A and B are shown apart, each in its own frame.
Chain A
Amino acid sequence: MINTGEINSPPVDSTSSFKTRLLHSLQHNWKSVVVFIPYFWLLLFFLAPFIIVLKISLAEPAIASPPFQPMTEWVDDGIIQIKLVFENFAYLWEDDLYFNTYLNSIKISSISTVICLLIGYPMAYAIVSASSSYKNILLMLIILPFWTSFLLRVYAWMGLLADQGTINSLLIFLGIIDDPIRLLYTPFAVYVGIVYTYLPFMILPLYANMEKLDTTLREAAADLGAKPSITFLTVTLPLTIPGIIAGSLLVFIPATGEFVIPDLLGGGNVLMIGRLLYNEFTANHDWPVASAVAIILLIVLVLPMMLYQHTQGKQVEG
């Protein structure tokens, strides 16, 4: 009787203690639970899709649904055969179209980033310098466009830039031109669209950076004999580099992969990688090549960032 009692009791104890232990560790490790949530998010919505795309990019295209051959295959002896095809990447290398499109995308997004910086920096500076009651209104105006759908705003630009659009009509009405100027479906329209759309992403990090700057530093520079222009070059500009980099990345990265703007405002005349990728997926129905395009794009965008972070880390250490 005593023996059975002893045998019976441990399982009961162990389950209850397991529960309490779990609860206990949860309570104690709530911090790690909270930290885990963003990791879980990235795992589920970034890493997993990325692995799927990577897998498709290494598959052989097929006329099937989905339109590629499975990666793994059962061979006779119960051995799993894994087939990796690198032809899709080789194909991208061989066809100049892809290389030129990547280059063009980077060119367009680089120029757009520089234009955003040139417009955004003085704007951010003006907002920071404004009186505090005015400041919130100005910031509100920067964020206001986000309240309307992005797509609607791009369509609005089509209306403005079209041959019979607002801008051309106005110019003809004023007698400045006789025939409409081609604005829509040109690189110019794409630049206008990208700069217009991404300008807030440049201004906001710059604003956050400048807001933290100690104004007495500028006074100290002036006190030591620096004219306002020299103060800007030697004090303000170097101290706002973190904001410039953050803003530039926030503009450059999404602009490089931009699809809607070149598609709607550039038409067939401006080839950007986002559009090419879309065409591979839909028109050509070539998922493996489309996936390879996406992977290369990711590498093109992530590699410079990693290099930058690496050098930044070294600078902090040194």
Chain B
Amino acid sequence: MSNQANSVDRPWMDPDAQPFIKVQSVSKHFGDFTAVDSVDLEIYKGELFSLLGGSGCGKTTLLRMLAGFETPSSGSIYIDGVDMTNVPPYERPVNMMFQSYALFPHMSVEKNVAYGLQRDGVDKPEITRRVDEMLAMVELTQFAKRKPHQLSGGQKQRVALARSLVKQPKVLLLDEPLAALDKRLRENTQFELMNIQDQLGVTFIVVTHDQEEAMTLSTRIAMMDAGRFMQIGTPTEIYEFPESRLVANFIGSANMFEGRVTEHGQDHMVVECKQPECEFYADHGSAIQEGSKVWAAVRPEKIRISGTPPEAAAPNQMKGIIDDIGYLGKLSTYRVRVGDNTLIEITASNQSRPRDGSLVHDWEDDVYLSWDASSVVVLTK
């Protein structure tokens, strides 16, 4: 990939790029409770940025500070180079799509969408044109005269989206945009959102607790916990190179083993674990001291499961007994008991179709587990 393409797709990699939104050591306290704890964040134009975390992690408070509903206790927020820290919501170039949609119940779909334009004093024909355009985009033209209570959940969601986009904001804030939709509708809407974002070039900031949603939607994800960022990165970075056990566990699942570094080099590392007894060989080095306590993590889908023993004794393998099987159709998840009472989770795709309907591996089968040196992630916290 050329350098230029890099800076367009990944502005955060480009040292010359100016961030569009800049959050500078922002904190928010509610009484004794610290919702957001001195965070720094830079978001670039056209990004689809996700704030991901469990409930109470501060992601919604941060979003509300960007919208202007909460004022930071300290720190400042810049949008497009302008200090927005104390600017009221009605003077900010951002719009928000609320989790509850917050459609005005006494106004028709049309009036709801037109509301923001009327506030800006746009003249009538222009309002009609833009509202019609917006409703056509979200495919709600024939529902223009309906009241919100006459719409389904998915339709309400689209009205809310149209209403927040009609003013062509520089930034669109989305608070759990897909939480209230059922699974099928959610998947469709996810791609719809991505298309719209691509079409309009608006910067999206999405708050979500759903890691799958964050993974599919985002250019980058900020993983939050207790008011701080745990890690900021692309979905691949966060998934494949988690920086802490917390991130590894929140995004997907991971098998983690406590151990000590026994060997340490430029391009490799060996971690020895006691429970179960196993040696993890990682093909990357890091600035970890020999003998220090670490965790070796391996994703379930990166472990191979086999009924036949490997040819030679080497690191990165184990022997165990299948304790539980979850058959999901395209995938099966296995829980394999290794040693006394350690359970290891393995996900394997069901590539071949069993002829007699029996399972490839059965309960209480002896199995051999192995994984690549590149799959091992060594975590220090």
Contacts and interface: CB of A to CB of B under 8 A. Distances in A.
A223 B90 contact: yes
Contacts of A226: 90, 115, 119
Interface of A is mostly: helix
Contacts of B102: 214, 216-217, 219-220
Interface in A218-258: 219-227, 230, 234-235, 238-239
B108 to A, nearest CB: 12
Given A214-B100, A216-B102, A239-B105, A223 B67 contact: yes
Contacts, number: 59
Contacts of B91: 225
Interface in B274-313: none
Contacts of B67: 219, 223
A225 B89 CA distance: 7
B98 A220 contact: yes
A222 B104 contact: no
A232 B363 CA distance: 66
Contacts of A214: 100, 102
Contacts of A220: 96, 98, 102-104
In this complex, the member of A219, A227, A230 whose beta carbon has the largest number of chain B beta carbons within 10 angstroms is A219
Given A214-B100, A216-B100, A219-B69, A224 B167 contact: yes
B184 interface: no
Contacts of B89: 219, 222-223
Interface string B196-210: 000000000000000
B106 interface: yes
Interface string A80-112: 000000000000000000000000000000000
A225 B95 CA distance: 9
A2 to B, nearest CB: 70
Contacts of A217: 102, 104-105
Contacts of A227: 90
A219 B115 contact: no
Given A225-B116, A226-B119, A239-B106, A219 B90 contact: no
Nearest to B163: A224
B16 interface: no
B106 A238 contact: yes
B98 A219 contact: yes
B120 interface: yes
B106 A230 contact: no
B56 interface: no
A155 to B, nearest CB: 45
A224 B95 contact: yes
Contacts of A219: 67, 69, 89, 96, 98, 102
B88 interface: yes
A222 B88 contact: yes
7 contacts: A219-B96, A220-B104, A221-B115, A222-B69, A223-B164, A225-B91, A225-B120
Given A220-B96, A223-B69, 16 more contacts: A214-B100, A217-B102, A219-B67, A219-B89, A220-B102, A220-B103, A221-B104, A221-B115, A223-B68, A223-B164, A224-B95, A224-B167, A225-B91, A226-B90, A235-B104, A239-B106
Interface of A: 214, 216-217, 219-227, 230, 234-235, 238-239
**9 closest pairs, A vs B, by CB?**
A224-B116, A225-B119, A220-B102, A216-B102, A222-B89, A222-B90, A223-B96, A225-B90, A238-B106
